[in-house]
Amino acid sequence: MKVYQINYDLRNQRNYQDLIAKIKSYGTWAKPLESCWLIVTEQSASQVRDSLSSVMDNDDGLLVTRLQGEAAWRNLSSDLSNWLKEKLEQAA
């Protein structure tokens, strides 16, 4: 399984509900920061982008980045830190 970080910038209409529902539909997810999510899936980054784009406006920004190997963070909860460590180890 692959771990992806999703960052977005909803600019005008800001339809968060549909985007959040689409992200959560991946089943295994975490939300470490306000506009940042982590998901686990077998899809490619392009497939994730296309799926999420279906509920976004044309002017919204989206970045989908695969996480593997080294990562560092600060001031995340213990539960989230443990989740991230576990998922990154599994993705290695």
Place of tokens 């005008």: 12
**Domains of the chain: which residue ranges?**
2-91
| CATH architecture of the domain with range 2-91 | 2-Layer Sandwich (3.30)
Determine the pLDDT at residue 14: 73
Residue 75, C-beta contacts closer than 8 angstroms, at least 6 positions apart? none
The per-residue pLDDT string of the chain (92 residues; one tens digit each, 9 = 90 and over) reads 999 999 998 888 777 899 999 999 999 999 999 889 999 999 999 999 999 999 998 889 999 999 988 889 999 999 999 999 999 988 87
